[in-house]
Structure 1
Amino acid sequence: MNNSVIEIAGRKIGPGFPPYVIAEISANHKLDIERCLMLIDAAADTGADAIKIQSYTPDTITIDSDRPEFLIRGGLWDGYRLYDLYKEAYTPFEWHPALFERARKRNVTLFSSPFDRTAVDLLASLDAPAYKIASFEVNDLPLIRYVAQRGKPMIISTGMANLGEIGEAVSAAREAGATQIALLHCVSAYPAKIEDANVATVPHLASAFDCIAGLSDHTPGIGASVASVVLGGSIIEKHFTVSRADGGHDAEFSLEQDEFRNLVHECKAAWAAVGRVNYDLLGSEKGSIMHRRSLYAVKSIAKGEMFSAENVRSIRPGNGIAPKYLPKILGGHASRDIAFGEPISWDMVQAS
């Protein structure tokens, strides 16, 4: 397959196709399966192309330790031990069949980020159509190889990774059999500052690693996402919730339903607007071209009278001779009577 195109659940993704917009539910379900199912319904209603969850347990992503390096300092989750945070944020494995079934009923693609082999095996058993590697796992080459062996498209976030580490991840995936890889530029801060977005990185990723690229966006609003689409980004991933006021560990940097619907609309509109380099007259412009400027008689002109700046001017509309010929017309003589408001044509100009 062309490295500039991948396909997830029958949807082709790449520069020649509208951007693929992913709604990330993450921890916004607040450990309530009914809320998680509701979030799937709400995300589907926005027109998102896909919905993503995360597949881990507290024990597969970290350990229950009180050592100081397991304590989060600063940011949204300041003071949490890693184990305690993930115990509140994880999506239980036993929910997964119901979540995939709800997505199928809503005719929307669902896939996940696995964080260990047990999660990969679970997702494979549910016939997940793609796999996402989170930024914090981009250096876990054994996990990347294990995912690649599933033979499904892989989307890899690159937050915190340098070019060398991204190259190692891509090589590991390809060597293990992955043929469809997308890289998402990502700033792994929650939320990320818009001035740190650096979406110019998106096309560079595509060029450097001969694959499609996009943005995993943690900035406020939709500006960074739309900008990345304009620069050639083929995938947009953004956190989703129904209400930031409801809380949830990721709520602060998530979009609500109307905002996410706007994200989907504006990203696809931006892609459509980029189009191609074109200087031809478009069909939609044909009704406007007559309103361009041209030469008109702004006073009545008698046969034989000289054309001057007082009786001929460049005005709208555009039915007369083009304004660039005004110097050639001035000083010439009218071949017939010309009424006020008539467009000037060459047959009105007396041959010299």
Structure 2
Amino acid sequence: MSQALAHIDGRPIGPGQPPYVVAEMSGNHNGELGRALDLISAAADAGADAVKIQTYTADTITLDHDGPGFRIEGGLWDGRRLHELYAEAHTPWDWHAPMFEHARKAGVTLFSSPFDFTAVDLLESLGAPAYKIASFELVDLPLIRRCAATGRPLVMSTGMASPAEIAEAVEAARGAGAKDLIVLHCTSAYPAPMSSMNLATLPDMAARFGVLAGLSDHTLGTAASVAAVALGACFIEKHFTLSRADGGVDSAFSLEPAELAELVSSCRGAWEALGGVAYGPGEAEAGNAGMRRSLYVSASVRKGEVLTAANIRSVRPGHGLAPRHYDAVLGRRATRDIPFGEPLDWSMVEGGEAG
């Protein structure tokens, strides 16, 4: 059984609702509070439902160590030490209060991914409306339980996770009290190749785990997110920057403001286009019904003359008999003179419809 609607900051999310679009700031503030506030404003202007940040310090997420595993090998951050990278990318905790206040004034929801219990405590003190568990933290069941115990809506990304790990995380969240639960399909590559996305997982995830399913999208562009909405994703998260040219730890795979606005528009358009099962004519087609084909007199016919392929044709517009009656009409006689260009009806045909 699938879950009912979730709600974040009063906004319903799930079946029958437009996709919830989240702009992920991550470290794209480039260490400047003013830029962080500008990112919030730009996301609001682009129509995003929410902005997401990350709440950690280098010391709460890793160790200041250079041993095996503490230096990144390959990818966008090749050669960087984890502690160094996170020190650059983190959002200082004393920024959080002004950022939440700015988001309220801008009319956009702000929430965060906490990475330890102290981060949850900080966010609780600021009235954060929801929590997000990042893909790399999905195996941290104590953190999941701590976030779920707040009673806030909980979003969890599943990059790299096996079905057993996802089931364990969902069970931990629900066991600790999570009710508004959204699970995101994710490919933890930066950027993620289109061929790696496997978006067909989305409906399977929703059915298998009984959750609302969405997408955390690290691809370049917006196509994957729009396709995800067509497959039922109710929640879309995408990294966001003011300008890729300005650099930043995540800028290479982040959307700029105009692209974020296009993402919002395209995702909501895709959702609107899904509609329900329907066969025409629909309301939007009503004005064109008269342009379908029908039977017309293509050469003047005298009363008593036989109707043939030489004087009856199937043409546009659609004001005569339907073309399916063509064979039934041929070989019968006209009941009156019929001028060229007149739509055919049964009163003009000897014997009428019953004949």
Q: Secondary structure at the match of 1:69?
A: coil
- 2:271 counterpart residue number: 271
For structure 2, the 5+ residue unaligned runs are: none
Q: Residues 76-155 of structure 1 correspond to what in structure 2 (within 5 A)? A: 76-155=76-155
1:4 shift after superposition:
2.9
Amino acid aligned to 1:74: G
Counterpart-to-counterpart distance in 1, 2:204 and 2:122: 34
For structure 1, the 5+ residue unaligned runs are: none
Q: Secondary structure at the match of 2:215?
A: strand
- 1:288 counterpart residue number: 288
- 1:221 counterpart residue number: 221
* 1:249 matches 2:249: yes
Q: Secondary structure at the match of 1:185?
A: strand
Q: Secondary structure at the match of 1:68?
A: coil
- 1:196 counterpart residue number: 196
Q: Secondary structure at the match of 1:17?
A: coil
1:280 shift after superposition:
4.2
Q: Which is worse superposed, 204-213 or 79-88?
A: 204-213
Q: Which is worse superposed, 283-292 or 114-123?
A: 283-292
Q: Secondary structure at the match of 1:39?
A: helix
Q: Residues 168-187 of structure 1 correspond to what in structure 2 (within 5 A)? A: 168-187=168-187
Q: Deviations over 1:27-74 (max 9, x none)?
A: 100011011111111111000000000000000000100102101011
- 1:22 counterpart residue number: 22
- 2:347 counterpart residue number: 347
Q: Secondary structure at the match of 2:325?
A: helix
Q: Say whether the 8 Å CA contact 1:103–1:109 is kept in structure 2.
A: yes
Counterpart-to-counterpart distance in 1, 2:300 and 2:128: 78
- 1:32 counterpart residue number: 32
Q: Which is worse superposed, 155-164 or 281-290?
A: 281-290
* 1:10 matches 2:25: no
Q: Say whether the 8 Å CA contact 1:13–1:234 is kept in structure 2.
A: yes
Q: Say whether the 8 Å CA contact 1:4–1:210 is kept in structure 2.
A: no
Q: Residues 315-326 of structure 1 correspond to what in structure 2 (within 5 A)? A: 315-326=315-326
Identity over aligned residues, as a percent?
A: 58
- 2:238 counterpart residue number: 238
1:180 shift after superposition:
1.2
- 1:63 counterpart residue number: 63
Counterpart-to-counterpart distance in 2, 1:247 and 1:307: 77
| TM-score normalized by the length of structure 2 | 0.98
Q: Deviations over 1:200-222 (max 9, x none)?
A: 11111111111101000001111
Counterpart-to-counterpart distance in 2, 1:183 and 1:322: 52
- 2:303 counterpart residue number: 303
Q: Secondary structure at the match of 2:242?
A: coil
Q: Deviations over 1:268-299 (max 9, x none)?
A: 01001000001142222111001000000111
**4+ runs of 1 displaced by more than 6 Å?**
none
- 1:337 counterpart residue number: 337
The alignment's C-alpha RMSD in Å is 0.9
- 2:164 counterpart residue number: 164
Counterpart-to-counterpart distance in 1, 2:4 and 2:26: 28
| TM-score normalized by the length of structure 1 | 0.99
Q: Say whether the 8 Å CA contact 1:15–1:233 is kept in structure 2.
A: no
